[in-house]
């Protein structure tokens, strides 16, 4: 099936679609003139967050801030995005390098979650927030059963809840190192509080590294993890 038909959206600029589906491993195999989906993933993460936050704010008016934060985290985490990507068989449309192709990259949760965010960004860049919202909300049922959502150990959310008690404080996650072959990357991320490093984490994906960085920050602050 054609990708546009699968996602229910027709691109004005087809190149945006191609970039969203192009994994860095493909570009790294000597195709330096091509763009990959990493920058779109960055943008898509923010677009996804605001769409889900607005949806929850409008539909769960009786939820306090803390519960809304946890609920949003459960819908934008890697596990949720991976399941969304599977619903449209996103893996079969990805443009991968040979290394990722031969090591199961089309089914790797981190790759699919990142690509899903890139697709969100591509729609946003092509048509704006409303079309991006329509795409995202198509994966969230109207009768969302909150009781069945799993709140895993989301250290980023826990840290955010602590820090946001002081509105002047600002948390930022900074990628400081990326190493290893495309099919076995390792990422190192620092979490900054007002430009001061309060935790460092390493993982197989940027999201995982961010979680470990937040976990270390919580531990250093004296909270049980």
List active site positions. 45, 117
Q: How far apart are CA 90 and CA 111, in angstroms?
A: 10
Four-CA torsion 171, 177, 180, 185, nearest 10 degrees = 10
- Residue 165, SS3? coil
Q: How far apart are CA 182 and CA 122, in angstroms?
A: 23
Q: How far apart are CA 104 and CA 72, in angstroms?
A: 29
Nearest residue to 106 via CA among 125, 84, 91: 91
Q: How far apart are CA 153 and CA 59, in angstroms?
A: 25
Nearest residue to 177 via CA among 164, 168, 186, 166: 186
Residues pairing with 180 in the sheet: none
Q: How far apart are CA 178 and CA 99, in angstroms?
A: 17
Decide: 118 and 127 in contact? Cβ < 8 Å: no
Decide: 183 and 105 in contact? Cβ < 8 Å: yes
């Amino acid at each position: 099936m054609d990708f546009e038909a699968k996602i229910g959206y027709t691109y004005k600029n087809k190149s945006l679609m191609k970039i969203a589906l192009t994994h860095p491993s493909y570009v790294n195999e000597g195709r330096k003139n091509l763009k990959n989906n990493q920058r779109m993933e960055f943008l898509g993460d923010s677009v996804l967050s605001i769409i889900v936050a607005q949806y929850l704010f409008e539909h769960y008016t009786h939820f306090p801030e803390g519960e809304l934060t946890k609920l949003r985290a459960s819908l934008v985490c890697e596990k949720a995005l991976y399941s969304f990507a599977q619903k449209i068989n996103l893996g079969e449309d990805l443009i991968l390098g040979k290394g990722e192709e031969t090591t199961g990259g089309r089914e790797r949760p981190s790759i699919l979650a990142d690509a899903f965010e890139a697709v969100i960004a591509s729609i946003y860049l092509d048509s704006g927030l409303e079309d991006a919202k329509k795409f995202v909300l198509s994966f969230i049922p109207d009768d969302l059963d909150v009781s069945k959502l799993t709140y895993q150990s989301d250290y980023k959310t826990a840290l955010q809840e602590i820090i946001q008690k002081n509105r002047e404080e600002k948390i930022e996650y900074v990628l400081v190192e990326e190493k290893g072959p495309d099919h076995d990357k390792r990422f190192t991320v620092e979490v900054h509080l007002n430009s001061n490093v309060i935790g460092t984490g390493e993982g197989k994906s940027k999201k995982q590294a961010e979680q470990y960085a937040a976990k270390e920050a919580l531990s250093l602050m004296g909270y049980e993890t």
